[in-house]
């Protein structure tokens, strides 16, 4: 063959979550400790393509990224046209847990970004013995909304354009243009109302700064990494979250924004590789 | 301080393409100075100081002049690098009928960042 395939393979399977059936798309690469990667609100698992093509990671980890239901190449449930999509803490937590159970993953590490960075904290609290560690990228236990999500889904505003416009400033000015616009491309492709529905969890339903101090990092280690240019999970909010979670590890990534793995993969790997090395040690 | 906005914006073919269906006037404020910016087919047709109290444009975006200058640095500091980030940090505000702003959000972000990396004193 004249092509050089990437190390990533993609598969579909059917997953039932709380009595609803979904056709799920997942990608994976590598072997070793399962590392489940959760994409940001309004995007999909392609954000992790650089990590899945990095032998420094895949030599030690089976890196798995799946598209949440309604996202990317995963389908919404049958009858979706009569529903308004709204992600709740319970649904998100149960979807990630069902995915890990369905694949019979043994004590995986779960890493999520943004809303994914929030749900991993819920998992660390509620299912500490099921996960080897959690990594919260741009994940804090409480945020302060700074925009009105109603603009994201209305007939007189183009959904793809507004979703990209909302998050474009969340990419750091130092990040390469190629990856800035690839990150935004995924936002331009999300289904109508999906980013808005995800933000219900991220802005409204997922706060738990009152419960995060209960996380036992002796049973499930917690790593928090936040980008300097993130305007939602700001460095200050990540540090405040770390202060509330005894034994957690936190670091601030200079010159990076809200999408570290997709906006600046070269810089991100300098931050994530030491964390992954520590977890597998 | 927006004197040269037209020169910066009207040489950006990508920006003009993005705003090619856009025709409106809006207000930009820096400290206590207000400017009316007229957009026609995505181009900056005119930038002029506000002349009378009822001249408002369709919406108004305001920030301090030092915030605008930092916004135009080649590598702006955090919270200054993007219009939404400036608003999130309380460094900029928007008022009025913001529908056309939202309908053309990527355009307006790029337009107001057009002087970035140039002589910001004269922007």
Name the pLDDT band for B122 (thresholds 50, 70, 90). very low
Query: Is the complex ipTM higher than 0.90?
Result: yes
Determine the distance in angstroms separating the CA of A194 from the nearest CA of chain B, rounded to an integer.
18
Q: Do A158 and B103 touch (CB under 8 A)?
A: yes
| pLDDT at position A94 over 70 | yes
Confidence of residue B120 (pLDDT cuts 50, 70, 90): low
Residue A181's nearest CA partner among A194, A193, A190, A171 is A171
Q: Strand A133-137 and strand A109-113: pairing?
A: parallel
pLDDT of residue B11 exceeding 60, the answer is: yes
Q: What is the pLDDT of residues A172-229, one digit of tens each?
A: 999 999 999 999 999 999 999 999 999 999 888 878 889 999 999 999 999 999 999 9
Partners of B99 on chain A (C-beta within 8 Å) are 156-157
pLDDT at A7 over 50: yes
The per-residue pLDDT for B105 is 98
* A89 has a pLDDT exceeding 80: yes
For residue A130, give the DSSP letter: G
First to last CA, chain A: 39
Q: What percent of chain B has pLDDT over 70?
A: 96
User: Closest Cα of chain B to A200: distance in Å?
Assistant: 18
pLDDT band at B121 (very low <50, low <70, confident <90, very high): low
Reference B33, options B15, B51, B54; nearest CA is: B51
Interval A128-136 mean pLDDT:
98
**Does the beta carbon of A231 lie under 8 angstroms from any beta carbon of chain B?**
yes
State the average pLDDT for chain A: 96
Confidence of residue A271 (pLDDT cuts 50, 70, 90): very high
* Interface contact B84-A162, CB threshold 8 A: no
More confident residue, A250 or A209: A250
User: Please, is B113 exposed, middle or buried when counting C-beta atoms within 10 Å of its C-beta (0-12, 13-18, 19+)?
Assistant: buried
Q: In this predicted structure, what is the pLDDT of residue A153?
A: 97
How far, CA to CA in Å, does A146 sit from each of A38, A183, B84, B86? Answer: 23, 21, 9, 10
Does A74 score more than 60 pLDDT? Answer: yes
Whether residue B98 has pLDDT greater than 50: yes
Among B14, B20, B75, B78, which would you mutate to test the A interface (most chain A Cβ atoms within 10 Å of its Cβ)?
A: B78
Query: Which chain A residues have a beta carbon less than 8 Å from that of B105?
Result: 161-162, 165-166
Distance between first and last Cα of chain B: 5
């Amino acid at each position: 063959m004249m092509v050089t395939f990437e190390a990533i393979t993609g598969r579909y399977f059917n997953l039932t979550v709380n009595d609803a059936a979904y056709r799920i798309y997942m990608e994976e690469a590598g072997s070793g400790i399962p590392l489940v990667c959760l994409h940001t609100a309004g995007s999909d698992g392609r954000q992790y393509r650089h990590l899945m093509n990095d032998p420094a990671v895949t030599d030690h980890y089976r890196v798995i990224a799946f598209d949440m239901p309604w996202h990317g190449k995963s389908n919404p449930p049958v009858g979706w046209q009569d529903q308004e999509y709204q992600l709740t803490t319970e649904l998100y937590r149960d979807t990630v847990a069902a995915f890990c159970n369905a694949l019979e993953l043994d004590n995986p590490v779960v890493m999520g970004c943004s809303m994914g960075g929030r749900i991993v904290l819920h998992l660390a609290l509620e299912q500490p013995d099921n996960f080897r560690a959690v990594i919260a990228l741009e994940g804090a236990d409480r945020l302060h909304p700074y925009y009105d999500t109603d603009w994201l889904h209305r007939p007189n505003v183009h959904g793809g354009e507004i979703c990209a416009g909302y998050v474009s400033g969340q990419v750091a000015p130092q990040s390469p243009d190629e990856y800035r616009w690839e990150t935004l491309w995924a936002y331009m492709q999300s289904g109508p109302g999906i980013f808005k529905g995800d933000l219900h969890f991220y802005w409204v339903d997922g706060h738990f700064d009152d419960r995060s101090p209960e996380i036992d990092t002796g049973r499930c280690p917690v790593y928090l990494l936040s980008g300097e240019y993130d305007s939602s999970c700001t460095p200050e909010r990540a540090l405040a979250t770390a202060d509330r979670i005894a034994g957690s590890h936190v670091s601030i990534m200079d010159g990076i924004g809200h999408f570290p793995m997709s906006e600046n993969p070269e810089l991100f790997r300098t931050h994530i590789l030491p964390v992954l090395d520590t977890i597998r040690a | 301080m927006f004197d040269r906005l037209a020169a910066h914006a009207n040489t950006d073919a990508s920006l003009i393409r993005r705003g090619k269906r856009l025709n409106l006037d809006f207000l930009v404020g820096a400290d206590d100075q207000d400017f009316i910016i007229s957009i026609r087919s995505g181009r900056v047709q005119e930038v002029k100081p506000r002349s009378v109290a009822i001249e408002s444009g369709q919406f108004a975006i305001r920030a301090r002049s030092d915030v605008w200058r930092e916004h135009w640095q080649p590598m702006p500091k955090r919270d200054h690098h993007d219009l939404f980030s400036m608003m999130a940090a309380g460094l900029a505000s928007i008022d009025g009928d913001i529908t056309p702003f939202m309908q053309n959000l990527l355009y307006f972000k790029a337009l107001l960042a057009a002087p970035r990396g140039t002589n910001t004193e004269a922007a």
